[in-house]
Chains A and B, each alone.
Chain A
């Protein structure tokens, strides 16, 4: 099955002309045709554009001009602006929006020869952990509980469509964005590798903003090496993003072969919560064992402000979002609802255009920035954020990387955790720290829970030291030997 290949394998075979880029793209478009009506992973499928790009890839291959991703079909989270292809952020308010520009990250993927299959579903404006808040309907996780095949599970969020597309073999890889865990949590729920690089590593230019200081573009893939290939293309300094870091992009693929011998690996004790399911605790210990066996030293470390991470995140992120989303006013683009006066037009447009979760976060964000509350909430959260960053810096004085579970549970079913937003926010418990600190983190599929659902482990590294994170991830991937497959997949 062409759809079962990894990006690294497909790349070799394309260069060897074992099949064409058009063949590879057709196989994925076919998988989308078959599976997407049920999984709803794509909001927009760009069928003809994908084939055009595949044909161009074949011509490039014929010329011997093969680049890092020539002919590789990818799915793009519908938060990345793509020129001429509708970009919705899974919101009503952007339903008619077709960007006249290409985000830097997707432009770099295209530069390297990638084929874009379409735009994937997500939680509206990337706000959610279940993909249930999309205005374009929920996404179904291609994985099924062993004893309960009827339950429709969520793929996680916010990048749920990207995760489902890659897991179900509708795409070889995908872009995502991770603001509090939006790549790593769905990667964990869907048995994938999810990479959140350092803040500033991938340009945010042309990515619809949720929370500017926390938004991290990054890739989904089925192997660590594929994640490295994709990040290598997506990363790099962009003068159009003032927060983009002007540092060279190393060879991440090479880093995957480094091994972990002599590395010091930290286990943050604060992540060991009382309520943690035994099987997740067991998997965590197993993961540490793999690294010990491979020659790493395991060290207990402390990240003392961990318990404030979630509260801090849920102040900073809505605060920035409340301001970032102010531009969706119906005046210049997107969906407009008329009103008698300007303020009515705003009210009508935004009430009709934003879903409940987005409205909730705009209200929280507006509240924490308001006169009289700013010091108690936003300013204090910024101070705690600085302490959390210091925790990571202190820990990285002692160790090269940290290992934690990615999520407190495996994928849950649609409808679960829906009545209490706080329950939903707890999904980000282990992931928000890396966003607040801007440090790189990867989730890899490490095992299955009792229901046969994938569980991820998270590897966190020093700022701009993605190489070590890839090295550790690749070592754990080898040891884990994760071969389980989702029930719903191309050819499955």
Chain B
């Protein structure tokens, strides 16, 4: 593809982006306590004395959270570190009960990995992953509950997060979007993060700089806590444009933390008070180094589900799908599973066409998801069967499908109720064809004198006369015979 570039007054500028994604780990309990992690619970109903930073309380690592981080690392084709360590990141905030966040600073559990992204022009690109580490989430400060007071909800305090840091390999807003969507897809396949950016279970810090071709990196700015793929893409655009303007007007981009104002479509600096921290990282003396056994990692590796890249390759080789269809169908695991249920024992290409076509269109129209779809995979499969065995033709199938979307009923029932069964009785077809030919002697004459295109007219008329239920192949055959 042609490289993304910003055209300034001094020429073209390249954008350099690295993403730090905070992904909330799916687990029953928090990273260092037994408290529950469900979203949307009553404020402060999922808080242990550990989470609230009470005197003498100590963290104990939750094995499942570590397993989730390792699974994610394996899913990102990354190095798993058998020895890692937890550090304290010290700073004061009202929703940070211990006065420090337990994180992994120097020795993360997962090292370098790689994510392959597909771009709109059909090309692919590898984005490097620098590291993945585990850390605690903070609580939530609610500033809008009282005129002069801030309320604190500690339900989220101590929930496990994975911070996934990319290399500065991203060169355009499109690539950042493709990376985030791919990462989200992998996390969802693995079941390690639900990827719901609206609920805050996935957030991104975006590092942006610009440079002229061939230059070393220039100073970067970090845009904190961007909470949708679209906003990440818009923030990069806005920030890159700002930086180009600063450089071109003779200024210098200052390394700083900024926020994306989605309403105005600009980034603005955070107040210096908000980021003037010296975090005084040091190893948490309450926790021993995290030591993983080879067997345990191997068992996790063996139990990994098939991931999007592998599934896409298989869909192409096993089902003969186009690269595009394969990519679309594997993006969400639920879609891929739906497809495989429909395709099983049937024509996979027809299954893929129906799913990416009528089925997705219907979901869109309804605002539904695979999970809430009125049309189940079994019913869609049954519809394809009705076509395959000539019970209905393709045109009627569209009507039956619409009825399925409306009622959620099985296609056979709809066909039965509405009497949509295809007519394969040659007598009925002969009679319909005879009538059409008799009603249109001039068209018959034109056809016979060489106007081949009229064949479609006769097919259409016959089908119309049979209320769409005629078997198209038989109609064709009969017409050919009678017009010969």
Which residues from B are CB-within-8-Å of A329?
A: 92, 94, 99
CB-nearest residue of chain A to B141: A342
Inside 8 A of B94's CB, which chain A residues have their CB? 329, 331, 342
Q: Which 10 A-B pairs have the closest CB atoms?
A: A326-B99, A369-B280, A212-B285, A213-B285, A327-B53, A206-B56, A208-B55, A81-B56, A327-B99, A371-B278
| A203 vs chain B, min Cβ distance (A) | 9
**Chain A CB within 10 Å — which of B54, B56, B281 has the most?**
B56
Say yes or no: B282 contacts A369, CB within 8 Å: yes
Query: Which residues 323-338 in A have Cβ within 8 Å of B in the complex?
Result: 323, 325-327, 329, 331-333
Instruction: Say yes or no: A97-B90 contact (C-beta < 8 A), given A240-B60, A370-B278, A374-B282.
Output: no
B59 proximal to A (CB < 8 A): yes
| B contact residues around A369 at 8 Å (CB) | 90, 280-282
A366 within 8 A of B: yes
Binds B, one of A32-40, A41-49, A99-107: A99-107
Residues of B within 8 A of A103 (CB): 56
Within 8 A of A (CB), among B279-304: 280-282, 285-288
Query: Which residues of chain A are near B92, meaning CB under 8 Å?
Result: 326, 329, 343, 346
Extra inter-chain contacts (9) besides given A242-B60, A332-B52, A332-B54, CB under 8 Å: A209-B56, A212-B285, A320-B285, A323-B90, A326-B99, A326-B100, A370-B278, A370-B280, A378-B282
> Does B54 contact A333, Cβ atoms closer than 8 Å?
yes
- Is B88 interfacial (CB-CB < 8 Å)? yes
Q: Interface residue tally of chain A, by bracket?
A: 35 or more
Within 8 A of B (CB), among A320-360: 320, 322-323, 325-327, 329, 331-333, 342-343, 346
Decide if A117 is an interface residue (CB 8 Å cutoff): no
**B268 CB, min distance to chain A CBs, angstroms:** 22
What is the bound-complex CA distance between A342 and B141, given in angstroms?
Answer: 12
Interface positions, chain A 294-330, Cβ under 8 Å from B, are 319-320, 322-323, 325-327, 329
Contact of B280 among A80, A323, A333, A342 (CB under 8 A): A323
Closest A residue, CB atoms, query B61: A242
B97 lies within 8 A of chain A by Cβ: yes
- B interface, by DSSP: helix, strand, loop or mixed? loop
Across the interface, do A89 and B285 meet the contact criterion of CB distance under 8 Å?
Answer: no
Complex CA–CA separation, A99 to B57 (angstroms)? 11
Q: Quick one: closest B residue to A369, CB to CB? A: B280
Complex Cα–Cα for A329 and B94 (A): 8
In the complex, what residues of A have CB within 8 A of residue B52's CB?
332
Contact residues in A for B280 (Cβ distance below 8 Å): 322-323, 366, 369-371, 374
Contact pattern, B 50-87, Cβ under 8 Å of A = 1, otherwise 0: 00111111111100000000000000000000000000
CA distance A278 to B218 in the complex (A): 68
List residues 172-216 of chain A with CB under 8 A from any CB of chain B: 204-209, 211-213
Bound complex: CA A484 to CA B278 (Å): 54
Q: How far is the CA of A239 from the CA of B285 in the complex (A)?
A: 16
**Residues on the A chain within 8 Å of B288, using CB:** 242-243
Q: Which residues of B contact A (CB under 8 A)?
A: 49, 52-61, 88, 90, 92-94, 97-100, 150, 152, 278, 280-282, 285-288
Closest to A101 in B: B49
Contact flags A384-415 to B (C-beta < 8 A → 1, else 0): 00000000000000000000000000000000
CB within 8 Å for A205 and B58 given contacts A323-B90, A326-B100: yes
Q: Does chain B have a CB within 8 A of A251?
A: no
* B286 A212 Cβ-Cβ under 8 A: yes
Residues of B within 8 A of A333 (CB): 54
With both beta carbons as reference points, the residue of chain B lying nearest to A211 in the complex is identified as B285
Least distance between B103 CB and chain A CB atoms (Å): 13
> Quick check: is A52 within 8 A (CB to CB) of the other chain?
no
Q: How far is the CA of A89 from the CA of B54 in the complex (A)?
A: 13
CB distance from A100 to the nearest CB of B (A): 7
Per the bound structure, the CA–CA distance linking A158 and B482 in Å amounts to: 111
Pairwise interchain contact B60-A323, C-beta atoms closer than 8 A: no
Q: Is the CB of B55 within 8 A of A99?
A: yes
Does A94 count as interface, using CB distance less than 8 angstroms?
Answer: yes
> Can you report 14 A-B residue pairs in the complex whose CB atoms are below 8 A from each other?
A89-B55, A204-B58, A211-B285, A212-B285, A241-B58, A242-B61, A322-B280, A323-B88, A327-B53, A329-B99, A342-B93, A366-B280, A370-B278, A374-B281
Complexed CA–CA distance, A160 and B280 (Å): 32
Q: Name A334's closest neighbour in chain B (CB-CB).
A: B55
The residue from A94, A101, A209, A323 contacting B282, defined by CB atoms under 8 A apart: A323
Q: Give the Cβ gap from A317 to chain B, nearest Cβ, in Å.
A: 10
A159 within 8 A of B: no
**Judging by beta carbons under 8 Å apart, are A326 and B90 in contact?**
yes
- The reply on A171 being an interface residue by CB < 8 A is no
Chain B residues with Cβ under 8 A from A239's Cβ? Answer: 60
How far in angstroms is the closest Cβ of chain A from B263?
A: 26
> Which B-chain residue is minimally distant from A346 (CB atoms)?
B92
Secondary structure dominating the interface of A: loop
Does A87 belong to the interface (CB within 8 Å)?
Answer: yes
Q: Which of B53, B58, B98, B152 has the most CB of A within 10 A?
A: B58
Q: CB within 8 A of B152: which of A240, A319, A331?
A: A331
Interface string of A450-470 (1 = CB under 8 A from B): 000000000000000000000
Q: Closest Cβ of chain A: how far from B62's Cβ, in Å?
A: 11
B56/A208 in contact, CB under 8 A: yes
**Which residue of chain A lies nearest to B55 when distances are taken between CB atoms in the complex?**
A208
CB distance from A332 to the nearest CB of B (A): 6
The complex places the Cα of A374 from the Cα of B278 at a distance, in Å, of 11
Interface string of A45-61 (1 = CB under 8 A from B): 00000000000000000
Q: A80 vs B56: C-alpha distance in the bound complex, in angstroms? A: 8
* Whole-angstrom distance between the Cβ of B177 and the nearest chain A Cβ: 35
Tell me if B56 and A205 are in contact (CB < 8 A).
Answer: yes
Residues in A with CB closer than 8 Å to B49 are 100-101
User: Is A94 touching B55 in the complex (CB atoms < 8 A)?
Assistant: yes
State the Cβ distance, B288 to closest chain A Cβ, in Å: 6
The listed residue (B58, B90, B287) touching A240 by CB distance below 8 A is B58
Mask: chain A, 77-119; 1 = CB below 8 Å from B; 0 = not: 0001100000101000010010111010000000000000000
B152 nearest CB neighbor, chain A only: A331
Query: Which residue in A97, A212, A242, A343 is a CB contact (below 8 Å) of B55?
Result: A97
CA A103 to CA B54, docked complex, whole Å: 12
Determine which residue in A211, A239, A374 has the highest number of CB atoms from chain B within 10 A of its CB, and name it.
Answer: A374
Contacts of B61 in A (CB 8 A): 242
Interchain CA distance A211-B281 in the complex, whole Å: 16
Give chain A nearest CB distance to B31 CB in angstroms: 12
Nearest CB of chain A from residue B64's CB, rounded to whole Å = 16
For B55, B98, B100, the residue with the greatest tally of chain A CB atoms inside 10 Å of its CB is B55
**Across the interface, do B58 and A327 meet the contact criterion of CB distance under 8 Å?**
no
**Inter-chain contacts of A323 with B (CB < 8 A):** 88, 90, 99-100, 280, 282
**Which residues does chain A contribute within 8 Å of B100, judged by CB atoms?**
323, 326
Write the chain A residue with the least CB distance to B283. A382
Query: In the complex, how many angstroms separate the beta carbon of A76 from the nearest chain B beta carbon?
Result: 13
Minimum CB–CB distance for A90 against chain B, Å: 13
Q: How far is the CA of A288 from the CA of B270 in the complex (A)?
A: 66
Assess whether B150 is in contact with A342, with CB atoms less than 8 Å apart.
yes
Q: From the candidates B59, B98, B286, name the one contacting A326 in the complex (CB within 8 A).
A: B98
> In the complex, which residues of chain A have a beta carbon less than 8 angstroms from the beta carbon of B278?
370-371
Q: Which residue of A lies closest to B279 (CB)?
A: A371
* Chain B residues near A209 (CB-CB < 8 A): 55-56, 286
- Return the chain B residue nearest A89 by Cβ: B55
Q: What's the minimum C-beta distance from B235 to chain A, rounded to whole angstroms?
A: 28
Give the residue name and chain of the A residue nearest to B56 (CB).
A206
Residues of B within 8 A of A101 (CB): 49, 54
Shortest CB distance A83–B (Å): 12
The answer to whether B56 touches A332, judged by C-beta atoms less than 8 angstroms apart, is: no
